[in-house]
Amino acid sequence: MSILLICSQDEQAAAQRLADAAGLPLALYQQHRFPDQELKLTLPFAGAVPEQLVLYRSLDNPNDKLVELLLLARHARTVGVKRLWLVAPYLAYMRQDIAFNAGEIVSQQIIGQFLAELFDGVITVDPHLHRIDSLNQAIPQGEAIALSGAPRLAELISRERSKPLLIGPDAESEQWVALAAAQIGCDYGVCTKQRFGDTEVQIQLPAISVNGRQVVLMDDVASSGRTLAGACSLLLQAGAASVDVAVTHALFAGDALTVITAAGVGEVWSTDCIAHASNAISMAPLLAQALKPLLV
């Protein structure tokens, strides 16, 4: 059965790592943006059509990329692709899972159904799920596989720091911090957080001594950077010897990286789910392990 992995040029490096790990051929689809910002996309096959197509597309900057997915998937079905898989290491629009005010749109349900209708399965990493237990609740049809970057980040932390103390910046981070701490046999704690807006947060440290410790702040995503920066400042004030950051998704919107560096963060490590200068670990081995059983 013919199988092809495709990606855009801007994600070629990460997609190539997945292709190598999964033993798949890789090809680039072509993109052209017209002056009016419309997209023209061209799939990398004109003759024989692969029976299965794997699309690698991480959904940071999602508004443009979701249109790409629609065009690529619909055309692939039209020309005869039988099975279509999406590997989206970062999955957007998952945080908006409930309407707090009248008229608010619950984007998680809409985007989840959108992806379910386009693809036979979706593989992602650490989706930002608040009030649901499984990715299948957001993507209700086909395969919906959620991996975690915590084990890979734990491997890196254990190499870089001899006796780290892992700290999660908020309650939601505990799932990843606890998993990583158990894997490498180190202590951990979790901060409490109150959010007052997109960039305004108040942090309280856990009841654990950080004096003289090599602390690693660990979370699924770094977006505005304000939560990590606030936690870092408090940790250094409490006597931490150093504070580093390890995150699965390096969004670092706007001045986020500058903000956390100014707060005293030393090293910043991330997985390659989103291409960024801080990428220090590849998710390709885990992604390939999840993908291979689907390609039958």
> What DSSP string runs through 110-152?
HHHHHHHHH-SEEEEES---SS-S-GGGTS-SSEEEEE-SHHH
Q: What is the number of domains present in the chain? A: 2
Query: Is the domain of 18 the same as that of 74?
Result: yes
Per residue in 130-155, pLDDT (tens digit) is: 778 899 999 999 999 999 999 999 99
Query: Is the domain of 87 the same as that of 46?
Result: yes
Q: What is the CATH number of the domain that holds 123?
A: 3.40.50.2020
Residues 49-71, mean pLDDT to the nearest whole number: 96
Token pair recorded at residue 244: 């580093």
Token pair recorded at residue 30: 């072509």
Rounded Cα distance, 210 and 205, in Å: 10
Q: CA dihedral defined by 40, 45, 50, 54, rounded to 10 degrees? A: -50
Burial per residue of 74-84, b for 16 or more beta-carbon CB atoms within 10 angstroms, e otherwise: eebeeeebebb
CB 1 within 8 A of CB 269: no
Query: Is the domain of 98 the same as that of 164?
Result: no
Give me the pLDDT at residue 100, please.
83
> What DSSP string runs through 191-213?
-EEEE-SSS-EEEE--SS--TT-
Closest CA to 180 of 229, 209, 219, 208: 219
* 125 in any annotated domain: yes
Query: Is the domain of 50 the same as that of 110?
Result: yes
Per residue in 151-171, pLDDT (tens digit) is: 999 999 999 999 999 999 988
* 277 in any annotated domain: no
Query: Is the domain of 128 the same as that of 177?
Result: no
Per residue in 20-40, pLDDT (tens digit) is: 999 999 999 999 999 999 999
Of residues 240 and 47, more confidently modeled:
240
- Percent of residues, the chain, with pLDDT higher than 90: 81
For the ranges 68-77, 131-140, 248-257, the maximum mean pLDDT occurs at 68-77
Residues 203-210, mean pLDDT to the nearest whole number: 90
What's the burial of 49, exposed, middle or buried (CB within 10 Å: 0-12/13-18/19+)? middle
Residue identified by tokens 């051929």 is 25
CB 59 within 8 A of CB 65: yes
Per residue in 37-48, pLDDT (tens digit) is: 999 999 998 788
Query: Is the domain of 130 the same as that of 18?
Result: yes
CB 265 within 8 A of CB 228: yes
* 247 in any annotated domain: yes
Domain carrying residue 77: 3-148+282-294
Distance of CA 63 to the CA centre of its chain: 16
Query: Is the domain of 143 the same as that of 289?
Result: yes
Least confident window among 81-85, 118-122, 251-255: 251-255
Residue identified by tokens 């386009």 is 118
| Ramachandran area for residue 119 (φ above 0: left; ψ -120 to 50: alpha; else beta) | beta
Mean pLDDT, the chain, integer: 93
Residues 198-216, mean pLDDT to the nearest whole number: 86
Rounded Cα distance, 181 and 200, in Å: 28
Query: Is the domain of 34 the same as that of 48?
Result: yes
DSSP conformation class of 83:
E
Give me the pLDDT at residue 85, please.
98
Closest CA to 14 of 59, 56, 73: 56
CB 86 within 8 A of CB 55: yes
